[in-house]
Amino acid sequence: MSAKVMVSNLSALKAKYGLSRRNEIIKVAKELYAADKAQGLKTTLVDVSDATAMQKLGGRQVSDPASGQQNKRAVDAIYCALKPDYLVLVGGPDVIPHIALQNPLPDDGDSSVPGDLPYACEAPYSLIIKDFIGPTRVVGRLPDIAGARDPAYLLNLLRTVAERGSRSASDYAAFLGLSAKVWEDSTRTSLRQLFGPTATPHLSPPEGPEWTPQQLAALSHFINCHGAPADHRYYGQKGNSYPVAHDAAWVEGKLAKGTVVAAECCYGAQLYDPALDDDKLASLAITYLGNAAYGFFGSTTIAYGPASGNGGADLICQYFLKRVLQGASLGRAALEARQEFAQGAWALNPTDLKTLGQFDLLGDPSVHPVQKAPTHLKALGKAGAGMSAEQRDEAAARASRRRMLFEKGLAIAQTQPVAQWEREPQRSVSLERAIGRLLRENHLAGAEVASYRVVLPSARSLGSKSAAAAVHGPVPPATTFHVALQRGVEGPGGITRCTALIAEERDGQLASYRVLVSR
């Protein structure tokens, strides 16, 4: 059993960088073993393109590096055989691909929702997000640069992990909170949940992107701005003005080692080829990690949240950073954030499902930026040869946490109601009129409406109808979400501005609604 398994495709790395540079990656990755051992972790590197190695683990070789299905099956086999506490995907999507999940929303410009969520779940390969609402595994990715021919960037990330350390919670209490002006209320709410009742964001406009060394030196960064595809900048907004709020070119060389980022921005964690950027620069996510940040939690596609208050991207980013600040590893923080978000509503509507599918952790999941609190669990037996008593206690506590999170993820998958698209929805005349009024009142007149019926887990999976009722309580017999989405492209970088109205129907009557906007 290995506490940490690094998963990569060495054939894909060889094709990308050549044999000698591929071997250099292997050498540096294995040098990380010693650093992990000092942390009480046994680490293994598994090559999914090695037929013999995969056969020993009960899996099959990945013959096509671009195949999400082959890679998902390989990761599942590795996890089942080795049962690691941490899974690290080594390389970008051209080495270990994202799984391109189907977008559950009406056309908002994203043809799919690529991400790493399926690798964190027990469910078999699928392209449907609702199949992956119950994550159980601690997973993160150490990406290289798409299209690169020199592995220096990936080697640097591996060395950053090897040289990692933990700091006090007070060190991470210093934060850079950055918001588009139009979302000031939403971002302030998030920051006060994380950093206390006086926390306030920097607003764009008028501020940014030339942040001072002191501002950038903060170890916690929370960003709620616009993002655009294949763009190394994030943008603010006031009215129809979209000034640059954050720029990879400016932050290069100015960030503090150990920085942790939660970014709500659309495409905030997209791993694009820098050749696609207008200035041929890598993304802010790549830039942060390349400047010794420990972790970046962000979205691969268009993300959603309200203009005021919290929801969607606001919440999942809050949950992640909150747990990091409490001393969780980056990977556990990401898993617990996904689980809490999946349980945050009585039923997951299509924007909830997209949010769950699009946020990934970039960084080694075993890193603890904030010092762990001492465990009160005491290990027994001889397991953990070469480990200190403190490390054995922590390993026992970690095993207990993993079991709890595993069971929780399975329970979410079995019990959480989700909304499924209806091909031919039946809407009464009065309901159509009520929806039409909502659209006009929210300046969405003419937008097409898609309907999603809430489906409860089968009574069989819970044992009986009475068991289902005990879990869900007095659920309305017929509940449907009606979603209207208006899309437009405006601002620099091809910023996509989407507004989604989500109305909840119960027993044939509209009961509530919310309006979300793309980040």
Q: Range with the lowest mean pLDDT among 101-105, 232-236, 393-397, 455-459? A: 455-459
Of the pLDDT bands very low, low, confident and very high (cuts 50, 70, 90), residue 120 is very high
Peptide bond into 197 cis (omega under 30): no
Range 141-166 average pLDDT = 97
Range 312-323 average pLDDT = 98
Instruction: Write the pLDDT tens digit of every residue in 19-51.
Output: 999 999 999 999 999 999 988 999 999 999 999
Instruction: Write the pLDDT tens digit of every residue in 75-89.
Output: 999 999 999 999 999
Range 115-126 average pLDDT = 98
Question: Rounded to an integer, what distance in angstroms lies between the CA atom of residue 290 and that of residue 293?
Answer: 7
**Cβ(40)–Cβ(86) under 8 Å?**
no
Domains, the chain: 4-160 (3.40.50.10390), 170-415 (3.40.50), 418-518 (no CATH)
**Cβ(305)–Cβ(273) under 8 Å?**
no
Residues 6+ apart with CB under 8 A from 403: none
Give 469 or 246, the one with higher predicted confidence: 246
Residue 374 pLDDT: 78
Residue 467 pLDDT: 47
Q: Range with the lowest mean pLDDT among 16-25, 92-101, 473-482? A: 473-482
Of the pLDDT bands very low, low, confident and very high (cuts 50, 70, 90), residue 396 is confident
Q: Range with the lowest mean pLDDT among 76-85, 117-126, 310-319, 504-513? A: 504-513
Q: Is 46 helix (H, G, I), strand (E, B) or coil?
A: strand
Residue 388 pLDDT: 83
Range 216-221 average pLDDT = 98
Of the pLDDT bands very low, low, confident and very high (cuts 50, 70, 90), residue 284 is very high
Residue 391 pLDDT: 81
Question: Rounded to an integer, what distance in angstroms lies between the CA atom of residue 497 and that of residue 30?
Answer: 45
**Dihedral of the alpha carbons of 167, 170, 172, 174, in degrees to the nearest 10:** -140
Q: Could you list the beta-strand ranges (E) of 249-288.
A: 260-263
Residue 456 pLDDT: 83
Residue 297 pLDDT: 98
Q: Is residue 6 over pLDDT 70?
A: yes
Taking the CA of residue 518 as centre, how many other CA atoms within 13 Å lie in the half-sphere pointing to its CB? 28
Mean pLDDT of the chain: 93
Range 488-492 average pLDDT = 74
Q: Could you list the beta-strand ranges (E) of 188-253.
A: 202-204, 220-224, 226-227, 233-235, 244-247
**How much is the CA Rg of the chain, to the nearest whole Å?**
23
Instruction: Write the pLDDT tens digit of every residue in 125-153.
Output: 999 999 999 999 999 999 999 999 999 99
Of the pLDDT bands very low, low, confident and very high (cuts 50, 70, 90), residue 460 is very low
Q: Is residue 66 over pLDDT 80?
A: yes
Residue 462 pLDDT: 44
Q: Is residue 477 over pLDDT 80?
A: no
Q: Is residue 372 over pLDDT 70?
A: yes
Range 404-409 average pLDDT = 97
Q: Which of 450, 424, 420, 430 is nearest to 510 (CA)?
A: 430
Instruction: Write the pLDDT tens digit of every residue in 248-268.
Output: 999 999 999 999 999 999 999
Taking the CA of residue 477 as centre, how many other CA atoms within 13 Å lie in the half-sphere pointing to its CB? 2
Residue 490 pLDDT: 72
Of the pLDDT bands very low, low, confident and very high (cuts 50, 70, 90), residue 474 is low
Residues 6+ apart with CB under 8 A from 418: 130, 133, 347, 348, 353, 454, 455
Residue 80 pLDDT: 97
Of the pLDDT bands very low, low, confident and very high (cuts 50, 70, 90), residue 383 is low
Q: Which residue has 């998963």 as its token pair?
A: 7
Of the pLDDT bands very low, low, confident and very high (cuts 50, 70, 90), residue 457 is confident
Range 214-219 average pLDDT = 98
pTM here? 0.94
